[in-house]
Amino acid sequence: MISGQIIPSLTVTRLSIVRIQSSSKGLHRPQFSNGWIWMIDMSIGLGTGKILTVLALRADHHALASDAPGFRDVHCVAVAVADSWTGETIASFLDRVIAVTGRPAAYLKDGGTDLQRAIRLLGEEGLSSPTIDDISHTIANLLKWWYLDHPLFQTFLSACGRVSANLKQTVLACLVPPRVQTKSRFMNLHRLIIWADQLLKLSPPGGARKGSMLSKLRECFDLLPSCKAFIRRFRDDVTPLLECQRILKAEGLSHRTMAQCEPLIDAIPTAPLRREFRACLESQLDTARSLSLDAIGLPISTDPLESLFGLAKLHGAGQIKDADRTAIRVPALCGIPTREEAQQVVGVSVAEQDEITARFTSLTKQRREVLPHPDRLESLTGSQAHVELVPSAQKRSNHQKILQFPVTYRETRDPHVSHQNGHG
């Protein structure tokens, strides 16, 4: 299912091919390269492959829509899988894409060092564009900076693990803590904090009757009550941060939304967190001014890309979450399929599709070949070819130059203005 429409799985690969090919035919136009923001992120699948994806979102999205960007608002510019990505290889990949489509108005990314280095290297080649930091990662990094070395942090995590073990397989199993992955832990640590705060509130001061549910619950608490001060402080810090995040994701960063966030920022109890968060937003607001988006709203979240990774792994890739099979589906999951695209999909030949899919060997195929034949185990050695879908250059564009994309009330509010998918 793509944007509410069902598309046969055999058609997905061809739709991805059509959409990437369209990038070389029309997306190098000044309107695209100067009025669009590139979301860049990486994701892993099963195997050695790591997926690098570039999505394009209209810079003036918040003037055209009243909600946060979603699947239908983005276009996949390029996607590729490699055993590993470094700042140098990412910069080289982006340079090839820029040569066809032109430079974006800005890059929207997380705080990964490899992505930062890649953009810095492009700047050294004269291909710089402003950068925007994803608001979720910004908040997570600030919380990590302040709380990682807190004396009760590790005690709290260990206590949560033991409480979870105590509650499982009991009548109190409905109270087990939410699962928070070790990697990028601070992206979702607030869920664990909120759970712990609510759990402790189930145990009011005073004695508990022997054999009662309250008595059984208290037996499962372990050291969690000793972390009350840490839990409350974290909760009080993260609550206004999350409310700011909700506002900025839905409406973008502008003078208006910054004013909405000011009272929330003032409510953050920890002064260093309050100061650093305000400084981050003011820096991003300077970027919005440079793009003439400070009155409209600067897109500040990579959620559409994160969600696309999850959707691509969930649908069509099978039980084995093969990075290559996942990557080849990403372009097809963006936007809304149009009649013109349907006609182009029909026109894609089997040979053209095989040219793309034959470049990589899926993990499912390797599994079928090796498990029944132990003598073929050594065939898995060596580097594996991976998927790469990038727009091809018929004529190299003048990507050294970025023209300013004018954003005016008349233009953005005109009912005839349409999205890249052709829908107003």
Are the beta carbons of 294 and 60 closer than 8 angstroms? no
> 71 pLDDT exceeds 90?
no
pLDDT band at 251 (very low <50, low <70, confident <90, very high): very high
> 96 pLDDT exceeds 80?
yes
- The whole-number average pLDDT for the span 390-413 is 43
- The whole-number average pLDDT for the span 272-281 is 97
Cα–Cα distance for residue pair 34/405, rounded to 1 Å: 5
Q: What is the pLDDT of residue 308?
A: 82
Higher pLDDT, 65 or 135: 135
- The whole-number average pLDDT for the span 328-352 is 77
Please name which of 231, 232, 223, 262 lies closest in space to residue 244, comparing C-alpha atoms: 262
Q: Which phi and psi (to 5°) does residue 80 adopt?
A: -150, 155
Cα–Cα distance for residue pair 361/384, rounded to 1 Å: 7
pLDDT band at 81 (very low <50, low <70, confident <90, very high): confident
- The overall average pLDDT reported for the chain is 81
- The whole-number average pLDDT for the span 278-305 is 94
Highest mean pLDDT among 45-49, 175-179, 316-320: 175-179
Q: Is 25 helix (H, G, I), strand (E, B) or coil?
A: helix
Query: Starting at the edge strand that comes first in sequence, how are the strands of the sheet with 106-109 ordered?
Result: 131-133, 106-109, 36-44, 50-58, 74-82, 388-389
Cα–Cα distance for residue pair 131/299, rounded to 1 Å: 11
Half-sphere exposure of 358 (CA within 13 A, CB side): 6
Q: What is the pLDDT of residue 315?
A: 67
Q: What is the pLDDT of residue 332?
A: 81
pLDDT band at 46 (very low <50, low <70, confident <90, very high): low
Q: What share of the chain is helix, strand, coil (3-state, %, to 5)?
A: 55, 10, 35
Higher pLDDT, 374 or 37: 37
Cα–Cα distance for residue pair 192/291, rounded to 1 Å: 38
Highest mean pLDDT among 42-51, 246-255, 362-371: 246-255
Q: What percent of the chain has pLDDT over 70?
A: 79
pLDDT band at 102 (very low <50, low <70, confident <90, very high): confident
Cα–Cα distance for residue pair 396/392, rounded to 1 Å: 9
Other CB atoms within a 10 A radius of the CB of residue 50 amount to 18
> 186 pLDDT exceeds 80?
yes
